[in-house]
């Protein structure tokens, strides 16, 4: 999981397309999608713009992502990773290259905080 990305733990029941028993799945929200989406004007009241959170759409349609299985719960969370950099300029010959490597590694550092902004239980 990428640092501070929006993810969902999906609690599943049943068997998947390969016959494996359900359990849990981690579903990352696409980073390319906006977190707040405007609804089409055709379904909004005249003169009003309405919006929906991406997380609400994922909660509402999680079952469609796991055909043949039943979604028992969908819980969103963010994981903050350790972003410390440890480069000693006296020990590296190419500081720019070392910094590039450290910057890439920051995205996948050790987890330091798990945050769950909301919990939505599916019934």
Query: Looking at per-residue confidence, does 81 or 41 come out higher?
Result: 41
Tell me: pLDDT of 119 over 70: no
Q: Domain 6-80+113-120 falls in which CATH fold? A: polyphosphate kinase like (3.30.1840)
Least reliable range by pLDDT among 30-39, 58-67, 68-77, 88-97 = 88-97
Q: Residues in the chain, how many?
A: 123
Instruction: Using pLDDT thresholds of 50, 70 and 90, give the confidence band for residue 21.
Output: confident
The pLDDT of residue 45 is 81
Using CA atoms, how far apart are residues 110 and 45, in angstroms rounded to an integer?
47
Cα dihedral value 92, 95, 98, 99, nearest 10: 140
Query: Which pLDDT value is given to residue 5?
Result: 81
> Which of 53, 75, 52, 54 lies closest to 121, judged by CA?
75
The residue among 64, 59, 40, 30 whose CA lies nearest residue 118 is: 59
pTM (2 d.p.)? 0.63
Residue 93 has pLDDT above 70, yes or no: no
Between the alpha carbon of residue 82 and those of residues 30, 40, 92, the distances in Å are 22, 40, 22
Per-residue model confidence as pLDDT tens digits over 94-112? 666 666 666 566 555 555 5
Q: Read off the pLDDT of residues 3-15 as tens digits, 9 standing for 90 and up.
A: 678 899 999 999 8
């Amino acid at each position: 999981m990428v640092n501070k990305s929006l993810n969902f733990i999906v609690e599943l029941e049943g068997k998947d397309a390969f016959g494996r028993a359900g359990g849990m799945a981690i579903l990352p929200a696409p980073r390319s999608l906006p977190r707040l989406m405007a609804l089409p004007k055709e379904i909004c009241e005249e003169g009003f713009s309405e919006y929906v959170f991406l997380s609400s759409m994922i909660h509402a349609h999680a079952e469609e992502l796991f055909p043949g299985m039943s979604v028992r719960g969908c819980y969103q969370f963010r994981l903050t990773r350790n972003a410390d950099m440890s480069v000693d300029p006296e020990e590296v010959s190419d500081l720019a290259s070392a910094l590039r490597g450290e910057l890439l590694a920051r995205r996948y550092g050790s987890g330091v905080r798990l945050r769950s902004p909301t919990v939505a239980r599916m019934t």
